[in-house]
Amino acid sequence: MARQPSSRSCFVCGRENTGGLRTRWESDRDAGEVRSTVSIPERFNGYPGVVHGGVLTALLDEAVVRTALLEGGFDDLLVTARIEVVFRRPIPTEAPVTVVARLLQRTRARARAEAEVRLADGTVAARAEALLARPPPEVAAGWAAERPFWRVDEG
């Protein structure tokens, strides 16, 4: 397993975003998966003690996009064009969950990926399927300023 790089300000993975989730991601090239284990703080609840669905969708979105890093780097990043999420079980706040994503198909300009959030006992509580696309050049150009800070953290 190899740790994936992250940005400074991203809501899901930003190292310096104290208001975000600050997830850390690993690539398992042998399994063709990316993974993260995270405990989602109570401040991200929808109902008391239950993670908000929008926060889970953001987590699943991050996971599917990170599948592009299994076989590439910063210049191979894609953006989500469509995502379909199915919530199967409530996900408690403050409890560790594991997010796992797999790349299903890839061309130079597009990809399909899937992700799931697993409870500590392995139960799949939410899953997503996504269509990813190469970003328009003007969007990718806006990422240039962050590139020097895109790195694996020491923590």
pLDDT, tens digit (0-9, with 9 covering 90-100), for 28-44: 999 999 999 999 999 99
3-state DSSP assignment of residue 53? helix
pLDDT at 1 over 80: yes
pLDDT, tens digit (0-9, with 9 covering 90-100), for 40-89: 999 999 999 999 999 999 999 999 999 998 877 878 889 999 999 999 99
Q: State percent of the chain over pLDDT 70.
A: 99
pLDDT at 144 over 70: yes
Q: What are phi and psi of 133, to 5 degrees?
A: -140, 155
Kindly report the pTM of this predicted structure: 0.94
Q: Which CATH architecture has domain 2-136?
A: Roll (3.10)
Partner residues linked to 117 by β-bridges:
99, 126
Cα–chain-centroid distance for residue 46? Answer: 20
